[in-house]
Structure 1
Amino acid sequence: MKLAITGGSGFLGDAAIRAAQAAGHEAWSFDRAHGHDVLGDLGALTGADTVIHLAGMLGTSELFDAPEAAVHANVIGTLRVLRWCQDHSAGYVGISMPPVFPSVYTATKVCATRLATAWHTAYGLPVSHVRAFNAYGPGQKWGPGHPQKILPTFARAAWEGRPLPVWGDGEQTMDLVHADDVGRMLIDAAQHGDDVTFDGGTGVAVSVNELAQSVLDITGSTAGVEHLPMRAGERPTRIVAEGDGWDRLDWKPEFSWARVVSAVEWYRSPA
C-alpha cells in the first residue's frame, strides 16, 4: 500500500511511518514541518491508496484558549481530507479518543469521527477509526508549546527533583498504550474500510497515583506529588479499552511496565 500520513512528523505519526515501513508499505509524511497543511494545498497526498489522518491541534485545557483554531484544524481539516479521499478513490483512517472529557479537543474529535462515518455511509468511502487511549513512549514532546502529557510531565518533574503534578485526587485511571502499538494498529486499520473502530489500548487500567509512584521509584526521586485542581476540560474518569476491533487482528496491544521504565529513562536528559 501507499500511505500518506498527515501529522506524520508528530509522535504517533512517526510511529505509524515506522510501522508502515516495517510491514513493507510505502509511507510518507504530510506535515506542517515540511510545509504541508490540511487547511492548504493537499497535493502532496497524491498517490496515496489510503490517508492516515493524524494532523490536528492537541490539548485539553489548552484548547479553551483557541477553540476556533481547534475547530478549523480538527474539523474543517478532516472534512478537507475526506473530500480529497473521495475525489481520489483513497481510503481514510482517522484517529479518535474515548469521548470522556468535556473538552474542546474531545468535541472536535467526536465531530471528525462522525464526519468520516457520514462520508462512508453517503459515498461508500472506505473508513476505519483507531480509538487511541493514553499513548506514551520515547520522543513524546513536553514543555512550553506542547500539551501536558502525563508520562513526560511526570518523568521530567521527577528527574528534576520537583513534585509530580497530579490533577485531582489521582484515583482516576488510564489505559497506557505504547506509541509503537498505536502506530501498528493504524497501519492494520488501513486494511479495513467498513467504518470499524479499533481500540488502541491494552484493556489494563492504571491509576494516576500508581503511575506517579512508579515514576518516583524509577527515578529515585523523593520529591513526592503535588495535588492540584483538575484542569478545564477534565473530570474524574475510569478509562480502559474494551477491545473493539481486536477480533479482526492476530494481536492486541499489551501493557508492559518495562516499556514504561524505558520511556521514563528516555526523559532523563532535558535535551
Structure 2
Amino acid sequence: MASLLVTGGAGFIGANFVAHWLKTRPGDRITVLDLLTYAGNPANLRGLDAELVVGDIRDEALVTSLVEGRDIDTIVHFAAESHVDRSISGPDAFIETNIIGTHALLKVARRAFVDTGRPHRFHHVSTDEVYGTLAPDDPAFSETTPYAPNSPYSASKAASDHLVRAYHHTYGLQTTTSNCSNNYGPLQFPEKLIPLFLINALHGRPLPIYGDGQQVRDWLHVEDHCRGIAAVLDKGRIGETYNIGGGAELPNLAVIDTLCAEMDRAFAADPALAARFPDAPAASGRPTASLKTFVADRPGHDRRYAIDCSKAMAELGYRPQNDFAGGFAATLAWYIENETWWRAILDGSYRAGAGHDGGDKAAPA
C-alpha cells in the first residue's frame, strides 16, 4: 500500500488526480496538503477518502511532520500559482510558491528519503509553457526542447523544473517530472478560459477574446492528464521528464466557437435551461456567439503551444482517451449540472471554513 502526499490537492488538477488515484488504487492512503488560497476548494475533495491538511508547502516543519508521521513514500507536487494574467500583475506570489515552495519540498524530501535511504518518489507536475512559443510550422515541444519561458508564471515553473532535476542529479532524489498542455474538465476554477466563458455565457456576459483569438493550444482533458501522471509514477524512469498532451491542437477562437455552438445546442435540447439561466442569449433563441468580444492582447502572449508526447506513448503506454468534442461536451454538462459548485465560488461562500491559508492557463482567451 502506497502513502502519498499530494500538494495542491484541493485544486483543479490535484483533486481530479486524488479521485483518479483512489478509484484505481482504493487501498492507498492520500494526504492532501493545500494552503487553500483562492483556487483551493475543500468541496473538490468531498466524498473522497483523503485527509486534507491546510498548510503551506514552504513550512518545512509541517511537511516533515507529514512525511514522517504518515510514512509518506510518494510526493506528487501540484501546488502552484498558475494563472498567467495574475503572474503579470503580481509575480511575487509565483516566485514564492513555485520556486521557494518547490525548493522547500525538495529539501524535506532529501532529508526524509535520501538521507535515510527510504524508497520514494518525488513527482513534479509542470507545464508546456516552460518551452516558450512556437511558430505555425515549428515541430511540437519535446522533452529536449530548450526552455524559453515568456511570462513570470512560466519562468517560475521553469525554475522549479530545474531545481527538481538538480536534486536528482546532485543528491540522488528519485524524481520524475511531467509537462502538460492546457487542461480542461470538471472542477476547474472559473478564471480559466473554458469555465469562465461557460459561466459568462450562462449569464449573458461578454466573452473577451485576446487579440485575434488565433493563439493555438493543445487541449488535454484532466482525466487524461491524471492517467498520464499515474503512468509516470508506475512506469516512468527515474530522473526523466515526460510530456503529456491531449492531441487536440486548436486555436482559442475555435474552442470558443465550439463552446458557443454547444451552449446553443444544450438550450435547444433542454427547455428548462432557459428558466434557470434567463440571461443567456440561448434562453431567448439568440446565438451565444453574439457575446464574443475582442479585446487588446495580453502582454507577451505566446502564439502557439503543441505537445509531442511520443516518449510517454512509447515508454508508458500513455494515450489520451478523450477527444476534444466529447471531452468538451462532458465538461459543459458537468458545469450545467453542478451550478451549486461554481455559484459558491462566485459568491465567495466556498471559502467558509477554509481558513485563511492553500492552475492551466489564463483567460480571457
* TM-score higher than 0.5: yes
Q: Deviations over 1:97-152 (max 9, x none)?
A: 1122511110000000000000111111111111121101111111xxxxx31111
1:77 aligns with 2:101: yes
Are the structure 2 counterparts of residues 195 and 11 from structure 1 closer, same or farther at C-alpha, using a change threshold of 3 Å? same
Counterpart among 167, 170, 176 of residue 119 in structure 1: 167
- Cα separation, 2, equivalents of 1:86 and 1:233: 36
Q: What is the TM-score normalised by the length of structure 1? A: 0.91
Task: Please list, as runs of the form range in 1=range in 2, the aligned pairs for 1:64-213 lying within 5 A after superposition.
Answer: 64-89=88-113, 90-98=120-128, 99=130, 100=132, 102-142=150-190, 148-191=191-234, 192-213=236-257
- Cα separation, 2, equivalents of 1:187 and 1:27: 14
Q: Which runs of 4+ in 1 moved over 3 A?
A: none
RMSD of aligned Cα (Å): 1.7
Q: Deviations over 1:200-224 (max 9, x none)?
A: 2122211111111111111112424
Q: Which amino acid aligns with 2:240?
A: V
1:245 aligns with 2:312: yes
1:51 corresponds to which residue?
Answer: 75
- Cα separation, 1, equivalents of 2:219 and 2:289: 24
1:37 aligns with 2:59: no
1:27 aligns with 2:30: yes
Structure 1 residue ranges without an equivalent (≥5): 143-147
Q: Which amino acid aligns with 1:263?
A: T
* Greater per-residue helix proportion: 2
- Cα separation, 1, equivalents of 2:91 and 2:192: 19
2:326 corresponds to which residue?
Answer: 258
Q: Deviations over 1:58-81 (max 9, x none)?
A: 211212333222211110110111
Counterpart among 280, 302, 323 of residue 235 in structure 1: 302
1:145 corresponds to which residue?
Answer: none
Number of residues of Structure 1 aligned to a counterpart in Structure 2 = 265
| Secondary structure at the counterpart of residue 5 of structure 2 | strand
Could you tell me the percent identity over the aligned residues?
Answer: 23
Structure 2 residue ranges without an equivalent (≥5): 37-52, 114-119, 133-148, 265-287, 344-365
Q: What is the TM-score normalised by the length of structure 2? A: 0.69
| Secondary structure at the counterpart of residue 194 of structure 1 | coil
Shift of 1:6: 0.3
Counterpart among 218, 238, 259 of residue 215 in structure 1: 259
Are the structure 2 counterparts of residues 129 and 56 from structure 1 closer, same or farther at C-alpha, using a change threshold of 3 Å? same
